[in-house]
Amino acid sequence: MNEATRPFSPAARLLHWLMALLILTMLFIGVGMVATVSEWHNWLVGIHKPLGIAILLLAIVRLVVRIRRPPPPLPADLPAPQKLAAHASHWLLYALMIAMPLIGWAMLSAGGYPVMLGSSLRLPPIWPFDPVAFAVLRHLHTWLGLLLFLTFLAHLAAALYHGLIRRDGVLSSMTGAGFHHDFPAASPSTAASAEKRAL
């Protein structure tokens, strides 16, 4: 059998679900704040900037956690294209988690805006005042944000595919379900009954 043999570390799981919530919130705030002229606009922009920096810091912590404690391997019987897609999409997610806040920060710097995280906390500029750079970075922020959303959708669909259709322990290695008292893996009988239900 190719059940995942161990779950993600508690730190990795905590970071995953916290960041899932923050990033999904961030994506909705991002598209929402530029699509309204109501009071929501300034309210959402006020959240977007500090939340982006929080995600940047969490992503760095998460990268360190991942390097120190590598994630459980994918099931050995997962078809190669799916394995490739899984690895590529995860590294894309990491790259975007780190790139998006940095691009946002650089974009505001290039636009000559003070990068305010609150009414008085200000970050220094990381790009010289340059309208051409602003325009490029501002468009990049939109397109990479949409790419991040699409990658998230694929990630969500794949997680549900593993959990509902393959039932191979990949989803539960992140939810922790079935691993609570029975470490390191779900018992063969559980897997067998799962397979029976699946068929």
Partner 1 sequence: MNPSSRSGTPAGHLGAYALIGATVVLVAAAFGYVGGWLAPHRLTPARLVNQLQATNGGVYPGYRRNHAKGVCVMGYFQSNGQGSAYSVAQVFAPNERTPVVGRFAIPGGNPYAPDSSIPIRSMALRFALANGQQWRTGMNDMPVFPVSTPRAFYQLLQAQQPDPATGKPDPRKLGAFFAGHPETAEFLGWVKTATPSASFADQSYWSLDAFELVDGQGRRHPVRWRMAPEASSTDTAAPAGGDPDYLAADLRQRLARAPLRWHLVITLAQPGDPVDDAAREWPVSRTSVDAGVLVLTSTAPQQSGPCRDINYDPTVLPHGIEISGDPLLPARSAAYADSYLRRTSEEAHLPGTSGATSKPDNRS
Residue 44 CA: distances (Å) to CA of 13, 16, 40, 41, 82 = 28, 23, 6, 5, 37
- Listed residue (132, 31, 42, 194) closest to 185, CA to CA: 194
CB of 181 to partner 1, least distance (A): 25
Positions that interact with partner 1 (CB under 8 A): 2, 27-28, 31-43, 45, 77, 79, 111-114, 116, 119-120, 122, 124, 129, 131-132, 134-136, 138-139, 149, 153, 156-157, 160-161, 164-168, 195, 198-199
Nearer to partner 1, 12 or 168 (CB): 168
CB of 159 to partner 1, least distance (A): 9
Task: Report the C-alpha gap between 143 and 135 in whole angstroms.
Answer: 12
CB of 142 to partner 1, least distance (A): 9
Nearer to partner 1, 55 or 110 (CB): 110
Q: Taking the C-alpha atoms of 127, 102, 64 and 21 in order, what is their torsion angle to the nearest 10 degrees?
A: 160
CB of 29 to partner 1, least distance (A): 9
Nearer to partner 1, 129 or 183 (CB): 129
Nearer to partner 1, 12 or 171 (CB): 171
Dmax over CA atoms of the chain, in Å, equals: 63
CB of 9 to partner 1, least distance (A): 26
- Listed residue (62, 77, 72, 66) closest to 184, CA to CA: 72
Q: Which 8-state DSSP code applies to residue 129?
A: S
| SS3 label, residue 183 | coil
Nearer to partner 1, 69 or 122 (CB): 122
